[in-house]
Amino acid sequence: MRLVRKLTLALLAGFAVLFAIQAWLSIHEFAGEYEADISRDHRVMGRALAAAVASSLRDHGPEAAVAIIAEANEREAQTKIRWVRLSAAPGSANAPAEFLSPAKGGQDLSILDRSRGSYGVAYTYTPVVVDGVRIGEVELSQSLEGEHRFVRLQFLHEALVTVALIVVCGGVSWLLGVRFVGQPVRQLSEQARRIGAGDLSSRINLRQHDELSLLAEEMNAMTDKLAEAREHLNSEIVARIAAIEQLRHADRLSTVGRLASGIAHELGTPLNVISGHAAMIASGEVSLESEIRETACVIQEQTSRMAAILRQLLDFARRRSTTRSTTDLVNLARRTVALLEPLAAKRGVTLDVGDGEAAVRSKVDSGQIEQVLTNLVMNAIQASPPRTKVEVSVMTRRLAPREGDGSERRCVCVEVRDCGEGIPEDALARIFDPFFTTKPVGEGTGLGLSVAYGIVADHGGWIDVSSEAGHGSVFTVWLPEAEVSA
């Protein structure tokens, strides 16, 4: 309601100024009329007395004229009447006021002297002419106390009327402001807060037909467009997530395909053992029950070994829902290395998991992070020449986050180091771009590192890469460390 209060105060201030001006003009007009009435009454009375005095002077002498003025002065309670002469010495009984200018041509003279007394005095001088000769003036004077008293009462009256009008106008303007401004603005602000909070289901309806209702209509139209855009965005997000999952699964299957040759080599040895022992049983070379039992145990052991290899491969290739839990990344790295050892052995490369911390935990989806490590280790195997080593290290480090307020935190660090030829400097900036690869045609899709970076970013981490020509490359996966419950 602050806007209503401001509008009401501004309106009341305007009313107060207008009423004050009107009151001042009214009082000023009254004062002028009051003074004009005094002057008019004095002139009428002065002319009547001047005529009577002139007649008395001709018929009865000065004493009779003075008696007429004295009698008239006694009758008037508010007006003081005197007989004055211009020729009288200043300060004498018959001397006029000091500021009096001589009347010309027998005309009356009215003067307001506000310096006399507490309220000022109104003077009127009427010349007395006998046989064409001016022999004196009749002076009528009256205090302006009545004017001041009436002006004060009029001021109080105008002030009370002004206050009453301001109160009434203020109340009316407040009620109208609340009805036509305050409530609509509050509804608009509440709608804006709902939109800011993400609630796009409500609409605002103002029945008045003014700019605020037009604003409400525009806000409703904006809400409709935002809701439509959100629905479109949600559908695009769902489609994008589905596409990302498809890409990740395709990359996983591509990795399985590259693992197939190593797995086939790994399965060859137990298959040969099983085939040999089966042939021995079939040819009768083993006939004793103890020998048959021993041969069966060998066949069972090799079959279990093959089943474990195939199960590990199938677990890696299977599509699974995303589930994050606290995972020991040291064990995850060892499991990944065990899966890739046949492929590394086929290329003459040794895989090694560094003896660092016993357990390094992070809250991740183990299947997705295993896919990341598989991509990185497989790329390292393919980049390394025979009789070299690929090192995998898992540790925790304290560092400032890559983006944020700069406060330190503990992160999980997984390094994959190869002994290849390194990555060209011009390719480092594009190494994580989809479909970008430095491998020969047919050996890579260009999705592995892009998918790996997306998975790590979804987990709140990132991947750094450093490479030096002739000294290999190091890919470092950073992930938030899991909080340890007390």
Whether residue 310 contacts residue 364, with contact meaning beta carbons closer than 8 Å, is answered with: no
Q: What pLDDT is recorded for position 388?
A: 92
Whether residue 178 contacts residue 167, with contact meaning beta carbons closer than 8 Å, is answered with: no
Taking the alpha carbons at both ends of the chain, their separation in whole angstroms is: 51
Q: Give one DSSP letter per residue of 417-441, joined into a string.
A: E--S----HHHHTTTTSTT---SPT
Alpha helices in 178-210 (DSSP H): 183-196
**pLDDT per residue of the chain (486 residues) written in tens, 0 to 9:** 566 677 778 877 887 888 888 888 888 888 888 888 888 888 888 888 888 888 888 888 878 888 888 888 888 888 888 888 766 666 666 666 654 555 444 578 888 888 877 888 888 888 888 877 888 888 888 888 888 888 888 888 888 888 888 888 888 888 877 777 778 888 888 888 888 888 888 888 887 777 788 888 888 889 889 888 888 888 888 888 777 777 766 666 666 665 665 566 556 666 766 777 677 777 777 667 777 777 777 777 778 767 766 765 665 555 555 688 889 999 999 988 888 888 888 888 999 988 777 788 898 988 888 888 988 998 899 889 998 999 999 998 877 555 555 566 788 999 999 988 888 888 887 787 766 676 664 455 566 787 788 888 888 889 999 988 778 899 999 998 877 554
Distance of CA 368 to the CA centre of its chain: 39
Whether residue 127 contacts residue 50, with contact meaning beta carbons closer than 8 Å, is answered with: yes
Strand, helix or coil for residue 452: helix
Strand, helix or coil for residue 278: helix
- Mind listing the domains of the chain with CATH numbers? 2-163 (3.30.450.20), 323-486 (3.30.565.10)
Phi and psi, residue 293, nearest 5°: -65, -40
Q: Which residues pair with 126 in a beta bridge?
A: 138
* H or E, element range at 32: helix 2-59
C-alpha distances out from residue 324 to 329, 336, 368, 400, 458, Å: 13, 18, 10, 24, 11
State the Cα–Cα distance between residues 460 and 456, nearest whole angstrom. 7
Q: What pLDDT is recorded for position 392?
A: 93
Q: What pLDDT is recorded for position 269?
A: 60
The total of other beta-carbon atoms located within 10 Å of residue 327's CB is 21
Label residues 92-101 b or e (16+ Cβ within 10 Å = b): eebbbeeebe
DSSP E strand boundaries for 106-189: 109-113, 121-130, 133-143
Whether residue 100 contacts residue 82, with contact meaning beta carbons closer than 8 Å, is answered with: no
State the Cα–Cα distance between residues 191 and 109, nearest whole angstrom. 76
- The counts of H helices and E strands in the chain are 10, 11
Q: How many CA atoms lie within 13 A of 89 on its CB side?
A: 2
Tokens of 241: 């997530």
The total of other beta-carbon atoms located within 10 Å of residue 198's CB is 9
- Residue carrying structure tokens 């003075």: 66
State the Cα–Cα distance between residues 105 and 325, nearest whole angstrom. 121
State the Cα–Cα distance between residues 405 and 357, nearest whole angstrom. 29
Kindly calculate the radius of gyration of the chain based on its CA atoms and give it in whole angstroms: 57
Q: What is the DSSP letter of 178?
A: I
Tokens of 190: 């509440």
Whether residue 138 contacts residue 125, with contact meaning beta carbons closer than 8 Å, is answered with: yes
- Residue carrying structure tokens 């089966």: 278
Pick from 375, 148, 147, 160: nearest CA to 259? 375
Whether residue 358 contacts residue 394, with contact meaning beta carbons closer than 8 Å, is answered with: no
